[in-house]
Structure 1
Amino acid sequence: MDVNQWLVAGIFILTIGALVLSNRRPAFIFAMSSLALIASGQLSLGQLTHGLSNKGLITLVLLLLISQAIDKTALIKSIGHKLINKSYAQSFWRLFAVTFTSSALLNNTAIVASLTGPVKQNQRHLPSRLLIPLSYAAILGGTVTLVGTSTNLIVDSFLIENGHPGFEFWDFTLFGLTAGLLCGGLMYVLSPMLPKLEQPKDDYKQYLIEAEVDADSPLVGQSIEDNHLRNLPELFLVEVVREGHLISPVHPDLVLEAHDKLIFTGNVKRMDTLSHIPGLSIFAQTNGLLKENLTEVVISNRSWLINKTLKQANFRAVFDAAVVAIRREGEAVSGKLGEIPLQAGDNLLLATGADFQGRDNLTRNFFFVSEHQIQQKLSKNKDRLTVGGFLAAIALGAIGLIPLTTGLLVLLALLTLVGVLSGNEIRRQLPVNLIMVIVGALGLATALEQSGLLSQVTSLLMPLVNGGSPFLALVMVYLVTLLLTEMVTNNAAAALMFPFAWNLIQTMDYPVMPFALAIAFAASASFISPYGYQTNLLVFSAGRYRYLDFVKYGLPISALYSTVLLGLLKYWFEL
């Protein structure tokens, strides 16, 4: 090995070591490895930035941005709080079916993020009995199509970078669907192994939020239980105000009437859940003030609002703002928001009008704290356009009528034009960290190849694979990728392993597709460690699991998944 090869090998080993041992984000680690390659002359800036034009990367970015628009729709939220009922078996299979199916088309991390709240807040079953299955169902569903997980698109981007046409939309379906359904069955059989962990009371600062049942609401005449108002993510129905009378605690069998005031407490950032319940109105929303941002203020000790209610103060007219929620430190507040006497130090969450900032009475009455991002409910037409447009883009791409990237780009422009997404939202949600990982990994692969290091490694491996069947080489590539996934992350594992597999394929004249699929599937197969996949990390903290909880439950699932996939790849490609 010459000096250049030693330099590249050292940077590669340090990159893996940092991914395994350090707490730094993969984006930072790949950025540092790219900087080291450029500084040492092993990679040019042009070669590095060339990765930004990769078609697979562009498709992935467009999918992630559009998934933000999908998350605004009622598609997931409307069913999320209806999945859990008295039967654990029914709850398990409902959750699995919805998560598995939706993750095949939508970003599976976003699916888990949307459903974690309803699962965590359900009153029927311990969240620890459902959250790991939720994550695993999303992982399995993500492997069914090209767009189900970022891992598939990362491997696709490497194929395209190396002159291969890349994956077709359905190339994963036979393998992912078979392995996913079989693993789903095993997950249910092994569900008694899931831990029974009690959830502590949420310790976030809770606001009091009021919503009114409309006169023509479909909620009228049905009980709290039937309307699924006890399973809202991070929101708790604590009181009902009916014709001036306070009903508390709220019994599940209480039948709602028109104009009931429902008093919730919880996380205001999840207030958009209320907006998606038909026939339920938040005051600021009906008055046209509920925007993307809410302003949080504290009532000053010099304010004339002290000891007055919002109605008495004529708050809406005086400040051009509506109080969406109230929080009081050290003391519980109760009843309708408009009838609570205000005190110095009360936190108010305000939906503000156009004239709010111009009022000259603000500094005397309030201390400004911060702004809270909320999601605005889409109109029915925008909701249909978002979901229908996405399904149309996927369908047209799947049948090859138009390129998937083109369809997604047109859809993103259309959603921006009609106001479903704003320019600020797109800038905020741009997946910069993931872009840095992919571009950095592509650059590292380029350096490995042009330094000759890949050829050196392949020469060392030749005695192990020469004379053997391609299937043995496939198993070796799969297992190494699987090990990397559990040690680092799914995206990093795919990015690090592909260059070596590609060189092996070219040297030994092996078929490309089974090896590319093996890397994609193995990089998604994180069932043993909570750190290998984003969805595992989401439920790891939400369920208060221990590391061993994943090992005990996930090890047999990982074994079945790997056995089924490797067997299918061997049979289908006649290895």
Structure 2
Amino acid sequence: MPLDAFLTLAIFACTILSLVVLQTKPVIIFGGSLLSLIAFGLVSKEQFLGSISNPGLVTLILLVICSLGIEKTRLLRLLAAKIIVRNYRSTWFRLFGVTTFFSSILNNTAVVATLLSPIRNNPHHYASKLLLPLSYASIFGGTLTLIGTSTNLIVNSMFMESTGESLSFFSFTAIGMILVVCCGTVLFFCQRFLPDIEQSKASSEGYFIDAKVVQGSELIGKTVEGNGLRHLESLFLVEIVRNKHLISPVSPSEVIQPGDRLIFCGDINKVLQLSQFSGLEIFAEKNGSLHSNLTEVVVRQESIIVGKTLKTTGFRALFDAAVVAIRRDGEQVSGKLGDVEIRSGDFLVLAVGDDYKTRTNINKNFLVVSGVEPESRINGWRAWLAVGGFITTIACAALGVVDLLEGLVLLLGGLLFAGCLTTNEIIRRFPIDIWLIVSSAILLSTALVNSGVVLMLGNFFNQFNDPSYIYLSLILVYVATWLMTEFVTNNAAAALMFPISYTIATGFGVAVLPFVMAVAFAASGSFISPYGYQTNLMVFNAGNYKVNDFIKVGLPVSIVYAVIVLSFVPVFFPF
């Protein structure tokens, strides 16, 4: 085997192995692969520049940025208010329909984030009966169009690099519609397996807020009852930390002492009530940012603060934000906020500083859920421009009136000139991780061709002319991509499996589209693991689910999903 082929295969194998072992660091792994390819001279300078400026990849980046304009409007929030009604079945179908539709044209993480709070706090139904269907519906919706999910656009960018052609806007729609109807039906009947979890005060509004009694406070020397700390609206004093000792439950007759840390549980929107007590200090309030800029985020699995305490992370220096409150899976977070060890999926409420918007590491560490700083909201004619411009651009692209890439460039320019988006917002929310992963995967695919690996694999598969081997290979490609999606990430699975599937198709001498579509649909089929897809992680915490809940509902959905894809891909995309 030539040296170039050996080195390319070694880098490819190490990339896959590293993703399995180090699941939380795909950006670092793909970045290492890219540097290795360049260092060993396996790709040219022109090929490197071509990978980072791939038209399909640039289209994906522009689509993510332009959709920020819609996130800043009240459109989805107004719809969310109309979804929940007394009848569960009616609520379920409204939720499923709205989520599926908007997820076909918008970032499904933003759709789920918008609907989380109304569902979690609704007075008619258990949130646990609706949140998991919300996540699955957003995944189904993503399979309907080319722009419905990042995996579709990633596959398209690599398809364009390999063939010079692009998938059409509606390439996924026929199979996607079948998936929405059939998998949605299975999901509806499987909702009986979802738990009935009562949203108690500690779980539905279970943010834990740490406030310190400073010297000279009017609270000192008085009891909890005497200070009125038991009569706050939607806030409850659950424990006191005194000289490293925990007092819980807190007696009404407990006397407040200097240096006490009062741990409240409740509705984060009511936190400003604590400002009425002289000498009761929240860190964020001390730094002057509590009253205006509250932002709710979810800690990503790959965040650098996972496994560390707030005290040891240097949180303010990293993000120019202070943690006001924390919530975790409905379980009580005990002790001082600074001593709590952060886990992936934790909900944090941040009081952000002036430089928060310019930090490029926010999106790498957190999913922004709600409460974005007030100045970032748009209304009036700007909101109409953001919504109308986006819908018009997508419609024109779908009808072939304008190229999607060109339309998005014009839309982005309009949003910037109109003040709907700012350069700081674009920098902060720029999807650099997706750019690096996809461009590295494209470059790796190019290296496989340069080194002759693709030719060798093609000659190997060319020996098998039996049509049954072709369909068996399609099944294996689907299963391998699905497993990588559940255990690694959906974007990494799509990026890595594309060159393999493309090589297998060319080796058999058949059309590549069946294998390409199998990869695209399999990379979106994460239903069993709460960690395989961002929306699953979000509802996993918000609904207080267990992993077993995902398995009970997700397994039958996954089976039906796989059967439909493997049955209809050869029908709509013949070999």
Q: Give TM-score scaled by structure 2 length.
A: 0.71
Aligned runs of 1:505-524 on 2, under 5 Å?
505-524=505-524
- Residue 442 of structure 1 is matched in structure 2 by 442
- Deviation, 1:341, is 4.8
User: 1:86 is matched by which residue type in structure 2?
Assistant: R
- Residue 475 of structure 2 is matched in structure 1 by 475
Q: Hey, what's the Cα distance between the residues in 1 that align with 2:274 and 2:544?
A: 39
- Residue 28 of structure 2 is matched in structure 1 by 28
Secondary structure of the equivalent of 1:162?
A: helix
Q: CA, structure 1 residues 465+82, in 2 after alignment: closer, same or farther (shift >3 Å)?
A: farther
Aligned runs of 1:374-523 on 2, under 5 Å?
374-375=373-374, 376-463=376-463, 466-468=466-468, 470-523=470-523
- Residue 278 of structure 2 is matched in structure 1 by 343
Q: Is the 8 A contact 2:54 2:161 kept in 1?
A: yes
Q: CA, structure 1 residues 11+548, in 2 after alignment: closer, same or farther (shift >3 Å)?
A: farther
- Residue 151 of structure 2 is matched in structure 1 by 151
- Deviation, 1:557, is 0.8
- Deviation, 1:332, is 10
- Deviation, 1:555, is 1.2
**97-106 or 20-29, larger mean C-alpha shift:** 20-29
Q: Hey, what's the Cα distance between the residues in 1 that align with 2:446 and 2:483?
A: 23
Correspondence for 2:207 among 204, 207, 216: 204
Secondary structure of the equivalent of 1:169?
A: coil
Whether 1:525 aligns to 2:528 is no
- Deviation, 1:205, is 5.2
- Deviation, 1:2, is 2.9
Q: Is the 8 A contact 1:206 1:265 kept in 2?
A: no
- Deviation, 1:191, is 0.6
Q: CA, structure 1 residues 24+482, in 2 after alignment: closer, same or farther (shift >3 Å)?
A: closer
Q: Hey, what's the Cα distance between the residues in 2 that align with 1:481 and 1:331?
A: 45
Aligned runs of 1:278-357 on 2, under 5 Å?
341=276, 343-347=278-282, 348=285, 349-351=290-292
User: 2:115 is matched by which residue type in structure 1?
Assistant: L
Q: Is the 8 A contact 2:103 2:111 kept in 1?
A: yes
- Deviation, 1:401, is 0.8
Q: Give TM-score scaled by structure 1 length.
A: 0.71
Secondary structure of the equivalent of 2:83?
A: coil
Q: Hey, what's the Cα distance between the residues in 2 that align with 1:412 and 1:551?
A: 41
User: 1:78 is matched by which residue type in structure 2?
Assistant: L
- Residue 252 of structure 2 is matched in structure 1 by none
Q: CA, structure 1 residues 377+478, in 2 after alignment: closer, same or farther (shift >3 Å)?
A: same
Q: Hey, what's the Cα distance between the residues in 2 that align with 1:337 and 1:151?
A: 42
- Deviation, 1:392, is 0.3
Q: Is the 8 A contact 1:505 1:511 kept in 2?
A: yes
- Deviation, 1:502, is 1.6
Q: CA, structure 1 residues 379+460, in 2 after alignment: closer, same or farther (shift >3 Å)?
A: same
Secondary structure of the equivalent of 1:135?
A: helix
- Deviation, 1:193, is 1.1
Q: Hey, what's the Cα distance between the residues in 2 that align with 1:335 and 1:351?
A: 13
Q: Hey, what's the Cα distance between the residues in 2 that align with 1:416 and 1:329?
A: 45
Q: CA, structure 1 residues 198+21, in 2 after alignment: closer, same or farther (shift >3 Å)?
A: farther
Q: Hey, what's the Cα distance between the residues in 1 that align with 2:104 and 2:277?
A: 49
- Residue 541 of structure 2 is matched in structure 1 by 541
Q: Is the 8 A contact 2:99 2:134 kept in 1?
A: yes
**543-552 or 440-449, larger mean C-alpha shift:** 543-552
- Deviation, 1:460, is 4.0
- Residue 117 of structure 1 is matched in structure 2 by 117
Q: CA, structure 1 residues 532+464, in 2 after alignment: closer, same or farther (shift >3 Å)?
A: farther
Q: Hey, what's the Cα distance between the residues in 1 that align with 2:513 and 2:450?
A: 24
Q: CA, structure 1 residues 176+332, in 2 after alignment: closer, same or farther (shift >3 Å)?
A: closer
Q: Hey, what's the Cα distance between the residues in 2 that align with 1:573 and 1:335?
A: 55
User: 2:423 is matched by which residue type in structure 1?
Assistant: G
Q: CA, structure 1 residues 10+378, in 2 after alignment: closer, same or farther (shift >3 Å)?
A: same
Q: Hey, what's the Cα distance between the residues in 2 that align with 1:167 and 1:153?
A: 9
**467-476 or 534-543, larger mean C-alpha shift:** 467-476
Q: Hey, what's the Cα distance between the residues in 2 that align with 1:34 and 1:193?
A: 45
Q: Is the 8 A contact 1:48 1:442 kept in 2?
A: no
User: 1:190 is matched by which residue type in structure 2?
Assistant: C
Q: Hey, what's the Cα distance between the residues in 2 that align with 1:543 and 1:48?
A: 44
Q: CA, structure 1 residues 470+383, in 2 after alignment: closer, same or farther (shift >3 Å)?
A: same
Q: CA, structure 1 residues 49+380, in 2 after alignment: closer, same or farther (shift >3 Å)?
A: same
- Deviation, 1:179, is 1.3
- Deviation, 1:28, is 1.2
- Residue 168 of structure 1 is matched in structure 2 by 168
Q: Is the 8 A contact 2:527 2:557 kept in 1?
A: yes
Q: Hey, what's the Cα distance between the residues in 2 that align with 1:399 and 1:509?
A: 32
- Residue 84 of structure 1 is matched in structure 2 by 84
User: 2:487 is matched by which residue type in structure 1?
Assistant: M
Q: CA, structure 1 residues 393+265, in 2 after alignment: closer, same or farther (shift >3 Å)?
A: farther
User: 1:29 is matched by which residue type in structure 2?
Assistant: I
Q: CA, structure 1 residues 427+340, in 2 after alignment: closer, same or farther (shift >3 Å)?
A: closer
Q: Hey, what's the Cα distance between the residues in 1 that align with 2:272 and 2:573?
A: 66
- Deviation, 1:345, is 3.7
Q: Deviations over 1:330-383 (max 9, x none)?
A: 68999998998551344553459xxxxxxxxxxxxxxxx852751443222111
**557-566 or 460-469, larger mean C-alpha shift:** 460-469
Q: CA, structure 1 residues 480+464, in 2 after alignment: closer, same or farther (shift >3 Å)?
A: farther
- Deviation, 1:552, is 1.9
- Residue 38 of structure 2 is matched in structure 1 by 38
Q: Hey, what's the Cα distance between the residues in 2 that align with 1:440 and 1:78?
A: 40
Q: Deviations over 1:48-101 (max 9, x none)?
A: 332121111111111111121111111111122332233222222111111001
- Residue 94 of structure 2 is matched in structure 1 by 94
Q: Hey, what's the Cα distance between the residues in 1 that align with 2:377 and 2:22?
A: 40
- Residue 56 of structure 1 is matched in structure 2 by 56
Q: CA, structure 1 residues 428+332, in 2 after alignment: closer, same or farther (shift >3 Å)?
A: closer
Unmatched runs of 5 consecutive residues or more in structure 1 = 208-247, 251-262, 267-327, 353-368
Q: Is the 8 A contact 1:127 1:543 kept in 2?
A: yes
Secondary structure of the equivalent of 1:421?
A: coil
- Deviation, 1:564, is 1.7
Q: CA, structure 1 residues 573+163, in 2 after alignment: closer, same or farther (shift >3 Å)?
A: closer
- How many aligned positions are there? 447
Q: Is the 8 A contact 2:169 2:398 kept in 1?
A: yes
- Deviation, 1:121, is 2.5
Instruction: Give the structure with higher Rg (CA).
Output: 1
Unmatched runs of 5 consecutive residues or more in structure 2 = 211-229, 237-260, 294-350, 357-371
- Residue 129 of structure 1 is matched in structure 2 by 129
- Deviation, 1:190, is 0.7
**381-390 or 564-573, larger mean C-alpha shift:** 564-573
Q: Is the 8 A contact 1:128 1:197 kept in 2?
A: yes
